[in-house]
Amino acid sequence: MTIATASPQALSELDRPNSYIGKTVPRPNLDRLMQGRGLYVSDIELPRMAHVVFLRSPHAHAKIVSIDAAAAKRMPGIIAVVTGKELAAVITPWVGVLTHLKGLKSAPQHAIAIDRVCWQGEAVAAIVATSRDVAEDAAEAVRVEYQELEAVTDMRTALDSATPVIHPALGDNLAFERNLDAGAVNAAFADADEVAEAEFIFGRHTGVTLEPRAVVADWNAAEARLTIYQGTQAPHMVQNIAALHLGLRESQVRVVCKDVGGSFGIKVHIYADEMAVYALSKLLRRPIKFVADRVESFNTDIHARDHRCKGKIGVKRDGTITAFEIDDLTGIGPYSMYPRTSAIEANQVVNLVGGPYTTKNYRARARVVFQNKNVMCQYRAVGHPIACSVTEGLVDLAAAKIGMDPVKIRRRNLIADDAYPCASPSGLRFELLSHHAAMNRLMAMMDYESLRAEQAALRKKNIHRGIGIASFIEVTNPSAAFYGVGGARISSQDGVAVRLDAQGAVICQTSITEQGQGSESLTAQIVGSVLGVSMERVRVILGDTDNTPYGGGTWASRGAGIGGEAALQAAKILRRNILDVAAAILQTSPGELDLAGNAVVNAGDGAPRIELNELARVVYFRPDTLPPGIQPELMATRHFVPREYPFAFTNGVQASWLEVDPDTGIVRLLKHWVVEDCGTLINPQLVDEQIRGGVVQGLGAALFEKCVYDERGQLTNANMADYLVPMSGEMPDIDVGHVVSPTSETELGAKGAGEAGTAGAAAAVANAVNDALRPFGAVITEIPLTPQVILTALGRI
Amino acid sequence: MKASAFAYARATSVADALALLAAHGDGAKVLSGGQSLMPAMNLRLISPELIVDIGGLAELRGVAVSGDVLKIGALTRHAELLRSPEIAAHAPLLAEAVAHVAHPAIRNRGTLGGSLAHADPAAELPACMLALNATVVISGPSGERRMAAEDFFTGIYETALSAQELLVAVELPVARKSSGYFFDEFARRHGDYAIVGLAAQAIVKDGIFADLRLAFFAVGDRPTLAKAAARLVGAVVTPAILSEASTALSKELDPQQDQQASVSMRRHLAKVLLGRCVSALLDRPDLNAGGSA
Ligand SMILES: Cc1cc2nc3c(=O)[nH]c(=O)nc-3n(C[C@H](O)[C@H](O)[C@H](O)COP(=O)(O)OP(=O)(O)OC[C@H]3O[C@@H](n4cnc5c(N)ncnc54)[C@H](O)[C@@H]3O)c2cc1C
């Protein structure tokens, strides 16, 4: 890893001897997970717990004529077979809209379909049994009579008058449309020397978490309380929604989120089948477990992308970009997801296209349509890969038109590093970005000039390699502007409580959650640094609505920037409180003291004065020995939410070096570079691995992953053999470099890093493939770049 | 998903296994490495009533050379093929091919017999059997029978085996001096079943093919010995001859379309493989310039 500091900033409370900030330290939860002592939902066993299997629709669109479960109910081990109508007695339907997405509409969705199924995989009945296999046996015995309806599958014709309207009450299949016209676009295109246009096609794909979605819901009738064990990114959101639709108060719902085996946005939503599990527990008054199997994960975990975006760019001969224009179309399935809605991705595309560049002329239209396919919603880097691929694809097309090097055209148009604060044509406000510093760093890391020379030499030997560059911006640390202003009860603030225990160790409760990205580690690093306590003495508790402060959780690259700042501020209060007590005990002033090495020390020479262990003993067991009037407070709580900027934007640039075999259409990834700027690096290794993991998901989108639907709305590759996830054998080495521009909105200065890798990886690969294919005159603007797509573009087949 | 309930029997000998199969008819399934059978059962694509586990039968294991014949027991695992010195010496094609089969964990359990009996048209080992001119040894209620690998594979997941029979071994002629081999396949990820693959065994004398067996896989409902190979035998291969063979190959193949490749893409890739194979076996880089001719 390499770090170039753009604007160094002293971090008073953190930049201390033995600080953990900026250090690679092992994650505290590593041993537990490595030794198999993690606790995932599927590990949870409760007394009288039953298992539910959902019978799912084989049709993309059909009326449910009748359900005959008599035979299934008679089978041994079967506790209940519950239909949508029966379940509706305990749970109300919902509509996935938010008011700030003007005009967004959707239809009421039920936990289990009642009289109509709208995608292949929608649940039509719940079979509750003593074990999953018994329930599967019974599922085969449930007879459902369907009357098939015409399925709307092609987003391009979804709005045609000849196409059936999926929800007649809505009038048409248009869920959402947004138009934006900034600057003087027509004049800017007229002013351009060259105009390039293309249609960019993005395959529908999904998150494929190692651990599938899983829930154990336990309604305790005696307490009138529901406990939900679920691997979710947002426990308080789940609490709110479950209570709302089951007719409970939030205090009657506890959400416990232990270990989570990957999430990537898949587990930040409320799924109909999960709602059904909560409701079944209430209906049947016993704990119910649901663990999705791989086939149902493919059919019901949210899908993402699936955009067709027409793009246009104007450029002057000197490389100045005069305007961007896009027309984006995306199909989201039959319902807008709850509660975050399925309009966010298209909305983000409109926001982000052209974002790294100076041109003020930008026109965009985005339309979101309904289809009879699985629901689509936010998955890692929401909208960014689309916006980045379109923008960067257009920039490369423009460069080719005027015969300019792709790096040169970017340098000419990227917003200058000293131009901040400023705003994008779509109104995004940038506090401080570092596009040029990042590009300079990238050029040095990849030795761009030598690589170009190597490419030219190999081309003579009929070896076709390409270099692709993609600059990007990333939305992180969202404020209430993301969901709250639209009426969603999704908290944008987070809270942290820290306390010193009776032996001088620290217990820290945080409302952010952990799905493998290292939330636990970064919280312990911050708290340990501020309190001068070694990390192994900091215990972090997360994922329990009964036992953490109220907050949003971990999504949208917000955990470190928002939850980390709350941890910092809470720890600072506790530190002051500890020093106050210590000063009283030691008969000195707090200003003379500091905390280091698990002890109170002299601020001046660092000499130990009193161990925290001893201080805690006095406070908790011999308060009678303290001077009168002192009431120690060895617990402190702070909350934080960004208020100045709706989002803390980060930036970066990626590059791909790859080889295309023009005879086979197979792409071999040789090397990938990322330079990114997430502000303060709390744990460089965690940041680097977030970037790498994100890149791999982006490379999956670029080359492999696609949910293949046929024209009848059947998902034809819902298994791990046919849906290709990226595997290590095909992955290149990924070099990560950093530029550090901390945000001044927080003392910590951290922005998010969770999605940067995914944002730009596919764009870099697509540009590199086109760069490799330049001698053949082929330009491809579709991902995944399968051999079939490449050979077709080359005219070989 | 969970497999539906089934009964399980651990066979104590080949005779015992055959008796169990005879008693239970079509409801029984042989279990070897389980790497194809278990996923199919877990997806409830098949729900056998009885599993006859032959995994413990030592008589079905091992690689042995006697005279000109290399005999490989049906239970020989992919990983053993990869490591066996006898295979490396006498059937190096097999050692190279098996490295393309799945991933180490699967190769540690999957068996040669299971792969051949399963008869996936995109599998590597069945094609190798054709290229190597193998004889399949089958045990059944009426004793042992032998048949050429070419006749053994009859369609997608279909073979000449009846439900009462066991594949017990294969016999291969040991590789002769001056013989060469070629193996390659195109797959989107390492370890995946091939989009198109080619296992070839040849005898080359003075730059001329004296014999050439080209076994293509994933381009039809079963592995296919290309008749077009005959056009390349017995004369100096020129680009024109190669091109004719390529055209002939294209005509004789009957590939299927799936999510990875269209029919025309499979034909195209088969021709690319042919060019690469001939060029490699004859050590003639000039013949590969127009691999996609
Ligand atoms: C993720 C994954 C990837 C894979 N990739 C590949 C690949 O790239 N290429 C490839 O070729 N294979 C691949 N395989 C399949 C693997 O090679 C299997 O091992 C092989 O196909 C079957 O061998 P087995 O011993 O596991 O057979 P089993 O699964 O035990 O049996 C398969 C079938 O053959 C029958 N059978 C087994 N043994 C006998 C016998 N002696 N006589 C009669 N019938 C018998 C069984 O009844 C069953 O119908 C893959 C498997 C997995 C899980």
Residues A424-461 have pLDDT tens digits of 999 999 999 999 999 999 999 999 999 999 999 999 99
Give me the long-range contacts of B137-144 (CB less than 8 A, separation at least 24). B137/B167, B137/B168, B137/B169, B137/B170, B137/B171, B138/B165, B138/B166, B138/B167, B138/B168, B139/B14, B139/B18, B139/B165, B139/B166, B139/B168, B140/B18, B140/B164, B140/B165, B140/B166, B141/B18, B141/B22, B141/B165, B144/B168
- Matching residue, tokens 């390039």: A196
Between CA A744 and CA A750 the distance in angstroms is: 9
Q: Does the pLDDT of residue A358 top 70, yes or no? A: yes
Q: Does the pLDDT of residue B291 top 60, yes or no? A: no
Task: Please check whether residue B109 is in contact with residue B31, taking contact to mean a CB–CB distance below 8 angstroms.
Answer: no
Residues paired with B159 in a beta bridge: B153
Residue B290 vs residue B292, higher pLDDT? B290
pLDDT tens track for A715-754: 999 999 999 999 999 999 999 999 999 999 999 999 999 9
**Torsion, Cα of A670, A675, A681, A682 (10° steps):** -20
Residues of chain B with CATH 3.30.465.10: 61-173
Indicate if ligand 1 lies below 6 Å from the C-beta of B18.
no
Q: Tell me, what's the pLDDT at A29?
A: 87
Q: Which of A385, A379, A322, A329 is nearest to A352 (CA)?
A: A385
pLDDT tens track for A223-268: 999 999 999 999 999 999 999 999 999 999 999 999 999 999 999 9
Alpha-carbon gap: A562 to the closest alpha carbon of chain B (Å)? 39
> Given the CA of residue B35, which atom of ligand 1 is nearest to it?
26
Query: What residues of chain A lie within 8 A of the CB of B192, using their CB?
Result: 724
Which of the listed residues B10, B49, B106, B147 should we mutate to test ligand 1's pocket, taking the one with most ligand atoms within 8 A of CB?
B106
Q: Which residues contact A749 (CB under 8 A, 6 or more apart)?
A: A9, A11, A679, A680, A742, A743
Asked if A664 lies within 8 A of B1 by C-beta distance, the reply is no
Q: Which of A757, A715, A683 is nearest to A535 (CA)?
A: A683
Indicate if ligand 1 lies below 6 Å from the C-beta of B31.
yes
pLDDT tens track for A149-179: 999 999 999 999 999 999 999 999 999 999 9
Chain B, nearest residue to A726 by Cα? B189
Q: Tell me, what's the pLDDT at A172?
A: 98
Query: What residues of chain B lie within 8 A of the CB of A729, using their CB?
Result: 189-191
What is the mean pLDDT of the segment spanning A309-319?
98
Q: Does the pLDDT of residue A6 top 60, yes or no? A: no
- Going by pLDDT thresholds of 50, 70 and 90, the confidence category of residue B240 is very high
pLDDT tens track for A504-535: 999 999 999 999 999 999 999 999 999 999 99
Q: How far, in Å, from the CA of B76 to the mean position of ligand 1?
A: 12
Asked if A722 lies within 8 A of B4 by C-beta distance, the reply is no
Q: Does the pLDDT of residue B77 top 80, yes or no? A: yes
Classify residue A236 by burial, with Cβ atoms within 10 Å: 0-12, 13-18, 19+.
Answer: buried
Between CA B289 and CA A551 the distance in angstroms is: 63
Q: Does the pLDDT of residue A4 top 60, yes or no? A: no
Q: Which helix (H) or strand (E) holds B125?
A: helix B124-131
Task: Please check whether residue A382 is in contact with residue A197, taking contact to mean a CB–CB distance below 8 angstroms.
Answer: no
The class level of CATH for A2-38+493-640 reads alpha beta
Q: Which helix (H) or strand (E) holds A452?
A: helix A448-460
Tokens of A143: 């007879």
Q: Tell me, what's the pLDDT at B288?
A: 84
Q: Does the pLDDT of residue B180 top 60, yes or no? A: yes
- Going by pLDDT thresholds of 50, 70 and 90, the confidence category of residue A7 is very low
Q: Please name the member of B1, B186, B268 whose beta carbon is closest to the beta carbon of A136.
A: B1
Q: Which helix (H) or strand (E) holds A676?
A: strand A666-677
Amino acid symbol at A644: E
Q: Does the pLDDT of residue A366 top 70, yes or no? A: yes
Domain-by-domain residue ranges, chain A?
2-38+493-640, 41-149+212-260+266-300, 381-422+429-479+646-793
Query: What residues of chain B lie within 8 A of the CB of A727, using their CB?
Result: 189-191
Residues of chain B with CATH 3.30.43.10: 7-53
Q: Which of A194, A246, A195, A198 is nearest to A225 (CA)?
A: A246
Classify residue B217 by burial, with Cβ atoms within 10 Å: 0-12, 13-18, 19+.
Answer: buried
Asked if A797 lies within 8 A of B191 by C-beta distance, the reply is no
Which of the listed residues B14, B37, B153 should we mutate to test ligand 1's pocket, taking the one with most ligand atoms within 8 A of CB?
B37
Flag whether residue A786 sits within 8 Å of chain B, measured between CB atoms.
yes
Indicate if ligand 1 lies below 6 Å from the C-beta of B123.
yes
Q: Tell me, what's the pLDDT at A219?
A: 98
Alpha-carbon gap: B175 to the closest alpha carbon of chain A (Å)? 31
Indicate the SS3 state at residue A525.
helix
Tokens of A90: 């305990």
Residue A563 CA, distance from chain mean position: 16
Q: Tell me, what's the pLDDT at A8?
A: 42
Ligand 1 atom 3: residue of nearest CA: B102
Q: Tell me, what's the pLDDT at A40?
A: 97
Percentage above 90 pLDDT, chain A: 96
Indicate the SS3 state at residue A631.
coil
Q: Does the pLDDT of residue A766 top 90, yes or no? A: yes
pTM of this prediction?
Answer: 0.96
Tally of residues, chain A:
797
- Going by pLDDT thresholds of 50, 70 and 90, the confidence category of residue B177 is confident
Between CA A136 and CA A129 the distance in angstroms is: 9
Q: What is the ipTM of this complex?
A: 0.96
Amino acid symbol at A588: T
Between CA A495 and CA A512 the distance in angstroms is: 8
Flag whether residue B104 sits within 8 Å of chain A, measured between CB atoms.
no
Q: Tell me, what's the pLDDT at A28?
A: 87
Percentage above 90 pLDDT, chain B: 96
Q: How far, in Å, from the CA of A612 to the mean position of ligand 1?
A: 62
DSSP state of A554: S
Q: Which residues contact A324 (CB under 8 A, 6 or more apart)?
A: A311, A312, A313, A353, A354, A357, A359, A361, A362, A363, A391, A394
Q: Tell me, what's the pLDDT at A18?
A: 75
Alpha-carbon gap: A39 to the closest alpha carbon of chain B (Å)? 21
The class level of CATH for B179-288 reads alpha beta
Torsion-angle region of A35 (φ positive above 0: left; ψ -120 to 50: alpha; else: beta): alpha
Task: Please check whether residue B98 is in contact with residue B194, taking contact to mean a CB–CB distance below 8 angstroms.
Answer: no
Q: How far, in Å, from the CA of B55 to the mean position of ligand 1?
A: 13
DSSP B6-55: -EEEE-SSHHHHHHHHHHHGGGEEEESS-TTHHHHHHTTS---SEEEE-T
Q: Please name the member of B2, B189, B292 whose beta carbon is closest to the beta carbon of A136.
A: B2
Tokens of A742: 């901390």
Asked if A791 lies within 8 A of B259 by C-beta distance, the reply is no
Beta strands in B141-178 (DSSP E): 143-148, 153-155, 158-159, 166-173
Between CA B276 and CA B227 the distance in angstroms is: 18
pLDDT tens track for A89-142: 999 999 999 999 999 999 999 999 999 999 999 999 999 999 999 999 999 999
Q: Please name the member of A132, A664, A703 whose beta carbon is closest to the beta carbon of B269.
A: A664
Task: Please check whether residue A567 is in contact with residue A527, taking contact to mean a CB–CB distance below 8 angstroms.
Answer: yes
Q: Does the pLDDT of residue A564 top 90, yes or no? A: yes
Tokens of B190: 């390492």
> Given the CA of residue B60, which atom of ligand 1 is nearest to it?
41
Q: How far, in Å, from the CA of B277 to the mean position of ligand 1?
A: 27
Classify residue A731 by burial, with Cβ atoms within 10 Å: 0-12, 13-18, 19+.
Answer: middle
Amino acid symbol at B270: A
Up-side HSE of residue B133: CA atoms within 13 Å toward CB? 12
Torsion-angle region of A218 (φ positive above 0: left; ψ -120 to 50: alpha; else: beta): beta
Q: How far, in Å, from the CA of A263 to the mean position of ligand 1?
A: 32
Q: How far, in Å, from the CA of A716 to the mean position of ligand 1?
A: 23
What is the mean pLDDT of the segment spanning A560-576?
97
- Going by pLDDT thresholds of 50, 70 and 90, the confidence category of residue B175 is confident
Alpha-carbon gap: A295 to the closest alpha carbon of chain B (Å)? 8
Q: How far, in Å, from the CA of B285 to the mean position of ligand 1?
A: 37
> Given the CA of residue B39, which atom of ligand 1 is nearest to it?
53
Chain B, nearest residue to A727 by Cα? B189
Ligand 1 atom 38: residue of nearest CA: B114
Indicate if ligand 1 lies below 6 Å from the C-beta of B95.
no
Q: Does the pLDDT of residue B176 top 90, yes or no? A: no
Flag whether residue A474 sits within 8 Å of chain B, measured between CB atoms.
no
Indicate the SS3 state at residue A54.
strand
Asked if B2 lies within 8 A of A132 by C-beta distance, the reply is yes
Asked if B292 lies within 8 A of A662 by C-beta distance, the reply is yes
Residue B260 CA, distance from chain mean position: 20
What is the mean pLDDT of the segment spanning B110-139?
98
Q: Tell me, what's the pLDDT at B290?
A: 52
Indicate if ligand 1 lies below 6 Å from the C-beta of B57.
no
pLDDT tens track for B83-92: 999 999 999 9
Please determine, looking at this structure, whether the domain spanning B7-53 carries the CATH number 3.30.43.10: yes
Flag whether residue A710 sits within 8 Å of chain B, measured between CB atoms.
no
Q: Which of A764, A773, A766 is nearest to A795 (CA)?
A: A773
| Angle, helix B239-252 to helix B263-281, in steps of 10 degrees | 140
Task: Please check whether residue B71 is in contact with residue B94, taking contact to mean a CB–CB distance below 8 angstroms.
Answer: no
Chain A, nearest residue to B261 by Cα? A788
Compute CA distances B224 → A226, A515, B124, B198, whole Å: 61, 49, 12, 9
Give the number of other Cβ atoms within 10 Å of residue A338's Cβ.
Answer: 24
Flag whether residue B45 sits within 8 Å of chain A, measured between CB atoms.
no
pLDDT tens track for A17-60: 678 999 999 888 889 999 999 999 999 999 999 999 999 999 99
Fold of A381-422+429-479+646-793: Aldehyde Oxidoreductase; domain 4 (3.30.365)
What is the mean pLDDT of the segment spanning A276-289?
98
Domains A2-38+493-640 and A381-422+429-479+646-793 share a fold: yes
Flag whether residue B262 sits within 8 Å of chain A, measured between CB atoms.
yes
Return the exposure string of B180-213: e unless at least 16 CB atoms fall within 10 Å of the residue's CB, then b: bbbbbbbbbeebbbbbbbbbbbbbbeeeebebbb
Tokens of A52: 């539910």
Tokens of A144: 């459902």
Asked if A722 lies within 8 A of B259 by C-beta distance, the reply is yes
Residues paired with B153 in a beta bridge: B159
Query: What residues of chain A lie within 8 A of the CB of B186, using their CB?
Result: 664, 666, 787
Q: Which residues contact B141 (CB under 8 A, 6 or more apart)?
A: B18, B22, B164, B165
Asked if B260 lies within 8 A of A797 by C-beta distance, the reply is no
Tally of residues, chain B:
293
Alpha-carbon gap: A137 to the closest alpha carbon of chain B (Å)? 7
pLDDT tens track for A193-219: 999 999 999 999 999 999 999 999 999
Amino acid symbol at B63: V
Q: Which of A669, A674, A700, A701 is nearest to A688 (CA)?
A: A674
DSSP state of A224: T
Q: Does the pLDDT of residue A601 top 80, yes or no? A: yes
The class level of CATH for B61-173 reads alpha beta
Indicate if ligand 1 lies below 6 Å from the C-beta of B106.
yes
Alpha-carbon gap: B46 to the closest alpha carbon of chain A (Å)? 13
- Going by pLDDT thresholds of 50, 70 and 90, the confidence category of residue B178 is confident
Torsion-angle region of A383 (φ positive above 0: left; ψ -120 to 50: alpha; else: beta): left
Please determine, looking at this structure, whether the domain spanning A41-149+212-260+266-300 carries the CATH number 3.90.1150.10: no
Residues of chain B with CATH 3.30.390.50: 179-288
Alpha-carbon gap: A293 to the closest alpha carbon of chain B (Å)? 6
Return the exposure string of A138-175: e unless at least 16 CB atoms fall within 10 Å of the residue's CB, then b: bbebbebebeebebbbebeebbeeebebbbeeeebbbb
Between CA A397 and CA A404 the distance in angstroms is: 10
Classify residue A622 by burial, with Cβ atoms within 10 Å: 0-12, 13-18, 19+.
Answer: exposed
Asked if A724 lies within 8 A of B292 by C-beta distance, the reply is no
Q: How far, in Å, from the CA of B38 to the mean position of ligand 1?
A: 9
